[in-house]
Structure formats: structure tokens, C-alpha cells
Amino acid sequence: MAKTARDIMSGGCECVGENETVEDAARKMADLDVGALPICGEDDRLKGMITDRDIVVKVVAQGKGLGETQVGSLGDGKPVTIGADDSVDEAIRTMAEHKVRRLPVIDGHELIGVVSQADVATNLSDEDTGALVEAISAS
């Protein structure tokens, strides 16, 4: 039986609220030892992702205040996601097509996990992992 996104994802991911500050997000990333967090709205729906790079490039480098900038202001439209029961092949295609290293996994509208490059590397062949890394890293 083919593996699904649910089979390889890292579960139990935590969100940062769209109305929280970037400083709050940075603290949560440090506490969880992660480089990205899903952004969740007050309606508990996924609004996007924020990465440590976003914080540096879109906030610090532009002289914006970490404690004044809301996380939701960094979201870019509709987030790229994968359904929990979609195939791993579909997850890899989606990650490659959108050049994302982390893909939120949803079940209905509920965020239940994230498929990362590390999850792919741990669960799939070196060839599949290499192809994904190459596709994401290509300019």
C-alpha cells in the first residue's frame, strides 16, 4: 500500500496566531527548536507559514519592530498544503512545484502535521530525496 502524507509527516505541530507578534513567533521557534511555524487564524484555519528567514529578511533587515509586527502581515495569500490522505508522491510533487521545504498537512480544515524535507529523507529513497532537494533548490 502506498504511503500517504499522514504516514510520513511530523505530527503535533504548533501554530503561531496571526495576531501574535514576530517576537512571539521567534520565541516559540526557539522554545520548540524549529525554523518554521504554521500561522493560524482566529478561525483556526491555516493562514500561511513563517520561517526564521522571513523574520530576518522581512522584519529585521527592513527595520521593522519585532514586538510591533504581527505574524499575519507576513503571510502570502493562500498557503500551500497537502491533504492527510494524499499520496507521498503528491506531497513531493507539491513541494517541488511550489519550492517549499515544509508542507502543512491538513485533514479537512484542521492542521495535523507538516511534511518536511527531513521527513522525506527519513522515509523515502535517497533518489526521491535528492530529486526533491534539487527541485526545491533550483532557481
Number of domains present in the structure of the chain? 1
Residue 33 belongs to what domain range? 5-137
- The contacts of residue 78 (CB under 8 Å, 6+ apart) are none
Confidence (pLDDT) at 104: 93
Cα–Cα distance between 126 and 123 in angstroms, integer? 9
Does residue 52 or residue 126 have the better pLDDT?
A: 52
> How do residues 43-52 score in pLDDT, each as one tens digit?
878 888 999 9
> How do residues 55-65 score in pLDDT, each as one tens digit?
999 999 999 99
Backbone phi and psi for residue 26, each to the nearest 5 degrees, phi listed first: -65, -40
> How do residues 108-118 score in pLDDT, each as one tens digit?
888 999 998 88
Q: Is the pLDDT of residue 120 over 60?
A: yes
Backbone phi and psi for residue 105, each to the nearest 5 degrees, phi listed first: -110, 125
CATH number of the domain encompassing residue 88: 3.10.580.10
Q: pLDDT class for 101, splitting at 50, 70, 90? A: confident
